[in-house]
Amino acid sequence: MTELVLDDQTTPPATRCGFIAIVGRPNVGKSTLLNHLLEQKISITSRKPQTTRHRILGIKTDGNDQFVYVDTPGMHKTERKAINRVMNQAANSALDGVDIVLFVVERLVFNEEDQIVLEALRKVKVPVLLLINKCDLLESRERLLPHIDRLSRLREFAEIIPLSVLGSHNLEAVERCVRNLLPAGPFLYPEDQVTDRSSRFMAAEIVREKIMRQLGDELPYEVTVEIEKYSIVDGVVHIHALILVDKESQKQIIIGKRGERLKTIGSAARVDMEKAFDTKVMLNLWVKVKSGWADDERALQSLGYHED
């Protein structure tokens, strides 16, 4: 008698994958939220509004689920210069084709720029979670419930979640809600990939973060960083970065007395780069005046501001 052997055709577990846009006005904690959800630093942060200028993907793969977060520049009313228009365009275009939206606001505030974001969300037909950040700074929690009630009438939200990103309070509730809303589908990125941005881009952003953190109160908005050289020799990353400013006086502020400020910026940036790239980094910084770059479409194009 012939024994019948059945093939062991085990059905692989279903995977889920989705794009989650993080939107809000400037300085409400969008980039900090992304970094905490990923449990590693992808987006630069500072207290200065509009630190984030580009759309950045942060990818987290957990079991059978892949979260593709889209960090966006803060939507803002004033479009004084071309760079402001570019950032608003990047933030608005990030809403196209996403599966979930995280709309971040701050404590008991809902102002004109929050309203701009709300208007942009009118075209969105996917679930929107309203996240009320910095709730740990409220002097009285009693005012929060009436505020949540007012916000709930603005539109239909899938969930309203008070949280503190820096305090890591209620972040698990955010991830749980997002996970439940992820659509079924294959992973779009390798499981070990954490961002869509290149090491060159990350290096430029790290330098810019150190400038904004150390000199944010002294410098206006017109500072950017361009990587002129990025090479790897014998396992060491060699980076030549050019800091572009709008005026000669800004150049002197960054360089500082006997070059001390520039050295401090470079030292702090190199430490973060070595953590991010997991290797030794040799970093050289220069400062150059490029007047009007922030309002020059061609200059913005060459600096990568239209790639989003």
Tell me the pLDDT tens digit for each residue of 37-93: 999 888 888 777 777 777 889 999 999 999 999 988 777 666 667 777 777 777 777
Among 25-29, 86-90, 92-96, 232-236, the minimum mean pLDDT is found in 86-90
Does the residue 169 lie in any domain?
yes
Which is more confidently placed, 296 or 62? Answer: 62
Cβ neighbours for 73, distance < 8 A, ≥ 6 positions apart? 26, 50, 52, 53, 54, 55, 87, 88, 90, 91
pLDDT digits (tens, 9 = 90+) for 157-197: 999 999 999 888 899 999 999 999 999 999 999 999 999 99
Phi and psi, residue 191, nearest 5° = -65, -25
Flag whether pLDDT at 3 surpasses 60. Answer: no
Question: Across the strands, what pairs with 133?
Answer: 106
As a whole number, the mean pLDDT across the chain is 88
Instruction: Among 181, 213, 243, give the residue marking a domain's end.
Output: 181
pLDDT (0 to 100) of residue 45: 81
pLDDT (0 to 100) of residue 80: 66
Residues 130 and 167 in one domain: yes
CATH code at 175? 3.40.50.300
Residues 166 and 268 in one domain: no
Percentage, residues of the chain above pLDDT 90: 64
Question: Considering its fold, how many domains does the chain have in total?
Answer: 2
Instruction: Among 153, 181, 209, give the residue marking a domain's end.
Output: 181
pLDDT digits (tens, 9 = 90+) for 143-156: 899 999 999 999 99
pLDDT (0 to 100) of residue 51: 76
pLDDT (0 to 100) of residue 267: 97
CATH code at 259? 3.30.300.20
- 260 burial (CB, 10 Å; 0-12 / 13-18 / 19+) is exposed
Does the residue 190 lie in any domain?
no
Q: pTM to 2 decimals?
A: 0.86
Flag whether pLDDT at 6 surpasses 70. Answer: no
Q: For the chain, how big is the Rg over CA atoms in Å?
A: 22
Among 10-24, 243-257, 288-302, the minimum mean pLDDT is found in 288-302
Long-range CB contact pairs, 58-61, < 8 A, 24+: 58/34, 58/194, 58/195, 59/189, 59/193, 59/194, 59/195, 59/196, 60/194, 61/187, 61/189, 61/191, 61/192
Phi and psi, residue 296, nearest 5° = -120, 110
Residues 298 and 174 in one domain: no
Does the residue 307 lie in any domain?
no
Maximum alpha-carbon separation in the chain: 94
Does the residue 123 lie in any domain?
yes
Instruction: Among 181, 213, 230, give the residue marking a domain's end.
Output: 181
pLDDT (0 to 100) of residue 44: 80
Residues 99 and 51 in one domain: yes
Tokens coding 302? 């060459």
Residues 173 and 265 in one domain: no
Q: Please give the residue range of the domain that contains residue 157.
A: 16-181
Neighbour tally for 92: CB within 10 Å:
17
